[in-house]
Amino acid sequence: MRVLLVGNGGREHAIAWKLKQSKNIEKLFIAPGNPGTAMLGANVAIDVNDIDGLVNFAVQNKVGLAIIGPEDPLAAGAVDAFEKAGIKAFGPSKAAAELEADKVFAKEIMRSMSIPTAESRTFTKFSDAKAYIASRDEAVVIKAAGLAKGKGVYVCDEPSDGIIAAEKIMVDKIFGEAGAKIIVEEKLLGEEASILAFVDGRNIYVMETSQDHKPIGDGDTGPNTGGMGAYCPAPVVTEKLMDQIIREILVPTVEGMNRSGKNFKGVLYAGLMLTPGGPRVLEYNVRFGDPETQPILMRMKSDLLEVILAVCDGKLDDVTIKWDKRPSVCVVISAGGYPGEYINGKVITGLDEAAKMEDVMVFHAGTAEKDGNIVTNGGRVLGVTAIGDDIKSAQAKAYAACEKIKFEGAYYRKDIANKAIK
Ligand code: AMP
Ligand code: GLY
């Protein structure tokens, strides 16, 4: 089968790596891809948001399946466009992608299905939001309702900081239209877990659990990022807790989407806070998480293409997925300055040496090729991922590989997976 994978992050490098192990891949195209995916298939210079360009390319090149990695093209209707052209596409429709693209819609689904989540209010006017936040004498969480590359959430221990965040989003419009509406919600306490499941509109297949590390700094300090590292599985999610998550969260979410006429297919990602009162949804994503996908796919033994086709065909009940028992850890190396301003084009060395290590994969994210060198080309540059007999040895291998990789300004957290070890 000829497959077009859309995206250029660490997630897409990991998906391409896994797809490439399938016997049924005749040809793999990645649009636009990165130097990591170029080692696995043919990169095609089409932007992820150029949906017409992607569909035309797929038609001309007899692509049988399109896999959409990132949220922006999903929210813009990429899956609908491929299907209209008669091409199978993996991911939710534009309507179903609202579960991620509109946090107000997500809250409505949760409310209608009694899915546990933080108490919240929605605002479309800054003055109203300001008055409400000022009236609260406790920590608040301020969220832009639309897509903001994982940076649209401010956890504020002081209401005054909440007002500043709301002003940045609504008045200064730092996320553009994505900040036209905001959600103000209570701060939840607990450990976080990412639950990713394949969903074919009806059946749900939960993948191995993982935990992301959102803030830039060690000890979860500093501003949020797209994710600075992840491990798989998340030991806090016991079997009993998983049963509860499936019953109280995943099943009603899929059911709620069906009831609202937005049948969900693809990867449903529930970002949870495991509070003393039980698991609560922080957010939904409608795609593979990044970086969670790197450690998750490193452990997947089954044929990813088969699973994806089963999702597209509504036959997920025919599939079982085998997992490597060994845990995995991914450490993201980012550009100095990220998640704020940073400079691209720094030459990266040590990649080959790190990639040669046993049980290590260096997934490319923000990289580019220039004059025969691999250079930095984004905030999150690499996802250094390792698998080991236990989480400690996976962590040690990932960090040993990180130490081999050098570029000016390179930064990574030193405590990824400590939570799973303590
Ligand atoms: P989100 O993009 O909605 O998952 O939010 C990004 C991060 O902000 C989450 O991974 C949490 O660390 C944090 N966060 C979001 N909502 C809350 C909340 N209600 N209480 C505490 N932390 C939160
Ligand atoms: N790791 C969080 C995300 O993919 O949005």
Q: What is the pLDDT of residues 117-134, one digit of tens each?
A: 999 999 999 999 999 999
Q: Which helix (H) or strand (E) holds 198?
A: strand 191-200
CB-based burial, 179-202: b 16+ in 10 Å, e otherwise: bebbbbbbebeeebbbbbbbbbbe
| Cβ(155) – ligand 1 distance below 6 Å | yes
Q: What is the pLDDT of residues 346-373, one digit of tens each?
A: 999 999 999 999 999 999 999 999 999 9
What CATH number matches the domain at 125-180, 1.10.10, 1.10.3470, 3.30.1490, 3.30.499?
Answer: 3.30.1490
Q: What is the CATH number of domain 328-421?
A: 3.90.600.10
- pTM for the predicted model, two decimal places: 0.96
Name the pLDDT band for 335 (thresholds 50, 70, 90): very high
Any ligand 1 atom below 6 A from CB of 140:
no
Q: How far is CA 417 from the centre of its chain?
A: 17
Q: How far is the CA of 284 from the centre of ligand 2 (A)?
A: 10
**Alpha carbons 150 and 214: distance in angstroms, whole number:** 9
Alpha-carbon distance of 66 to 58, in angstroms, equals: 8
Query: Which top CATH class is 191-318?
Result: alpha beta
Q: Mean of the pLDDT values across residues 263-292?
A: 97
CB of 230 closer than 6 angstroms to any ligand 1 atom: no
Task: Quote helix, strand, coil % in the chain, to nearest 5.
Answer: 35, 30, 40
pLDDT band at 89 (very low <50, low <70, confident <90, very high): very high
Chain CA centroid to CA 138, Å = 30
358 contacts: CB under 8 Å, gap ≥ 6: none
- Give the atom of ligand 1 at the shortest distance from the alpha carbon of 186: 19
* Whether residue 13 has its Cβ less than 6 Å from ligand 1: no
pLDDT tens-digit series, residues 33-88: 999 999 999 999 999 999 999 999 999 999 999 999 999 999 999 999 999 999 99
What does the domain layout of the chain look like in residue ranges?
Answer: 2-93, 125-180, 191-318, 328-421
List, as one string, the DSSP characters of 221-242: EEEE-S-SEEEES-TTS-HHHH
Chain centroid, CA 190 distance in Å: 20
Closest residue by CA, ligand 2 atom 3? 289
Q: What is the mean pLDDT of the chain?
A: 97
Residue 150 has pLDDT above 80, yes or no: no
Does the pLDDT of residue 422 top 90, yes or no?
A: no
Q: Which ligand is nearest to the CA of 285?
A: 2
- The answer to whether the CB of 248 is under 6 A from ligand 2 is no
Residue whose Cα lies nearest atom 4 of ligand 2: it is 289
* Residue identifier of the C-alpha nearest atom 19 of ligand 1: 187
Pocket probe mutation, ligand 1, options 71, 155, 192, max atoms within 8 Å of Cβ = 155
d(CA 306, CA 311): 9
- Whole-angstrom Cα Rg for the chain: 20
Question: What gap in Å lies between CA 287 and CA 302, rounded to an integer?
Answer: 19
3-state class (DSSP) for residue 191: strand
Taking residues 168-172, report their average pLDDT.
97
Does ligand 1 come within 6 angstroms of the Cβ of 200?
no
**Residues whose CB is less than 8 angstroms from the CB of residue 331 and which lie 6 or more positions away in sequence, other chains included:** 228, 229, 383, 384, 385, 398, 399, 402, 412, 413, 416
For residues 159-175, average pLDDT:
96
How far is 297 from 304, CA to CA, in rounded Å? 9
CB-ligand 2 contact for 71 (6 Å cutoff) = no
Ligand nearest to the CA of 229: 2
Domain at 2-93: CATH architecture: 3-Layer(aba) Sandwich (3.40)
Q: Classify 311 as helix, strand or coil.
A: helix
